[in-house]
A and B are shown apart, each in its own frame.
Chain A
Amino acid sequence: MLPEIQTHLEQLKWLLIILIALVCPLLALMLGGTTVSLASASLKHRTGEKETPPWIDGLLRRANPSVEHDTLVVLTIIASLLLFKIIYRPQLFSNAAWIVLILLLTAGLGLMVCCRYRLVDQRPLDRTALAIGGAGVTIVAACCLALACTESILLTPEFWPHLSHLPYLFLSWHGFTRFAEFLLLTCAITGNALLFSTTSPYPTSIPPPAADCVARRIGAGLSLGALLLWPLALGLEMALIPSLAGGRLLTALAVASILLAAFCTFLLGMTLYGKIHAPKTFFAMIILLFWCWAFMGHVARERTLTPVALAGLAVETPTPALATEGESIPPEVSPSKAAKVLNGKELFEQKCSVCHRFDQRVVGPPLNSVVPGYRSDPETLTAFLMQPVKRNPNYPAMPNLGLTADQAEAIADYLFQNAEP
């Protein structure tokens, strides 16, 4: 279904990492913004339109229910998932499972978008709208957990062949930790939006400054809590990550992430004390944290999913799809290729010439001294080439080269033609 791309793999991997780095902050902004909007709208719905405390309006306005990035998020997620399938060919799920995941994500994001459009249009949310929004958030969060666990299981390729027998292996502590990290970063970026937001699409009336202040405090608390917890989750990830995936670069990125979180906390503190006001720098630092997080995943994958590891896995579990293709369409062997396979001279040079010469001893005996003995019984030589046994104690045993009957016959013919009588 998807193309096998061997060239430009590096470029595709960089494209994937850029897409992940792009999609994660956008998705986090959507998820966090919608959750806060829904929570505020739900509180408003519960207290009644007239008795709503002003800070809830402030929170609802600062959650900034913008819908301009939604299409971009959906498209980027779909592109990332397809690239994952093309680059790593994980065999984790069938194509149907991947399509269901994409459809679920799209549906969840769609539900969230519907809910946000209502907020943008300044229409109060009824119970149904709240339920739709809640369902959207839950579906998207569940898909994010599934993707985090998928990313994590990619680091243990030995589990892939057994996954169809043991689906519960899909969930992993490392996957949960990565998901927790994503949630913490979501809280940090949502807190940033609440703290520094200046837009006021809803409601149109200007709220009292005190309400704004409460919303700002909630945002600051959300960001501060997330930034303080982030290094703990990172430490847990470093403890749980498969040992084969770990390395110096991963540790350097983890340390850089902790230092970035410390700098963000410092900036937040300075902002709260009124010493500085640097919304752009703070936002850029959180985006950098997202990039570090995404790049850590990439580094871990690249250390584990080496071509030799994947090749070994392919030996163990030939894909049913390929087997079916092989059965229905037998590989076409061109006449020239067939001739090449049975070319005794080429086979001799490839397989035998390292140890054998016709006129001198190298590792094995000179062929001119042994081949003539088989002229009366060529089949014995063919059988010997296919299943060598030690005959002469003065020479080491000849290894079994795994020759087929045709190959052994071609080499025997070549030997009979070229050995001295």
Chain B
Amino acid sequence: MSDKAPKRPGTRLRKLFCLAVFSYFALLVLATLSASLVRGFFAPPTTQPIAFPHTTHADKLNLACDFCHSGVKQEASAGVPALSVCLSCHRAIATDRPEIEKLLGYERRGEPVRWQRLHNLPDFIHFTHQRHIQAEQPCAACHGAVERMLEVQRVRSLKMGWCISCHRSRGAPRDCATCHK
């Protein structure tokens, strides 16, 4: 004769319930981690090839934004300054500093500096800097206080809702074709 007592059906049901609850929470942990991964919450902070301090150039030296970003008043894109723009001053200034040595190294190798873009808009958006500068929008409205940033960071969402709210409050056109290609 076996000593084993038959299992009660309630015990099995209880175990099944525990398993279901455990799976539910495990699934939600995985879902949260995946959602964070997809939204880029785990992405390392963007580092630029050369640590360019806007604090020195835009704040201490008080250079106007368009001195380096020359396209901002005339073109759709503000443009990242060419190596030659940096070198027009830095062939002579602070040439012994490590970051300037990096800059001169790029010139020696004939290689462009591959700056990482922080203010990206989708391809289907038609945005012109020229229009916004003509409307007397300060650069800080979209880029924040760049002159206080040792390393530039994005401080605005640049999402459609944000654009629309600004356009609406300033009476700018809001039909789809204004921004969408």
* A residues adjacent to B (C-beta < 8 A): 156, 158-159, 161-162, 165-166, 169, 228, 231-232, 234-235, 238-239, 242-244, 246-248, 250-251, 254-255, 258-259, 261-262, 265-266, 269, 273, 306-309, 311-316, 351, 354-355, 361-363, 396-397, 399-402
Contacts and interface: CB of A to CB of B under 8 A. Distances in A.
B25 A169 contact: no
Contact of B148 (A243, A308, A313): A308
Interface in B135-163: 138, 140-141, 143-146, 148-149, 153-157, 162
B144 to A, nearest CB: 3
B61 A351 contact: yes
B153 A308 contact: yes
Given A251-B36, A306-B155, A231 B28 contact: yes
B42 A251 contact: yes
B25 A315 contact: no
B33 A248 contact: no
A309 B153 CA distance: 9
A165 B168 CA distance: 9
A351 B155 contact: no
Given A158-B162, A251-B41, A308-B153, 4 more contacts: A159-B162, A162-B166, A238-B32, A243-B39
Contacts of A363: 88-89, 91-93
A166 B169 CA distance: 8
A239 B35 contact: yes
A262 B41 contact: no
A397 B141 CA distance: 28
Contacts, number: 147
B64 A311 contact: no
A314 B22 CA distance: 49
Interface of B: 14, 18, 21-22, 24-25, 28-29, 31-33, 35-36, 39-42, 61-64, 67, 88-89, 91-93, 138, 140-141, 143-146, 148-149, 153-157, 162, 165-166, 168-169
A255 B92 contact: no
A158 B167 CA distance: 13
21 contacts: A166-B168, A166-B169, A231-B28, A231-B32, A248-B42, A250-B36, A251-B32, A251-B41, A261-B25, A262-B21, A265-B25, A307-B148, A309-B144, A312-B141, A313-B144, A354-B93, A362-B93, A363-B88, A399-B61, A400-B67, A401-B62
B21 A254 contact: no
A259 B25 contact: yes
Given A255-B32, A261-B25, A315 B145 contact: yes
Given A243-B40, A309-B155, A351-B62, A251 B33 contact: yes
B32 A244 contact: no
A250 to B, nearest CB: 7
Contact of A244 (B93, B143, B157): B157
Nearest to B22: A262
B148 to A, nearest CB: 5
Contacts of B18: 269
Contacts of B22: 262
3 closest cross-chain pairs (CB), A and B:
A312-B144, A396-B88, A311-B145
A161 B141 CA distance: 10
A248 B89 CA distance: 40
A258 B32 contact: yes
B30 to A, nearest CB: 10
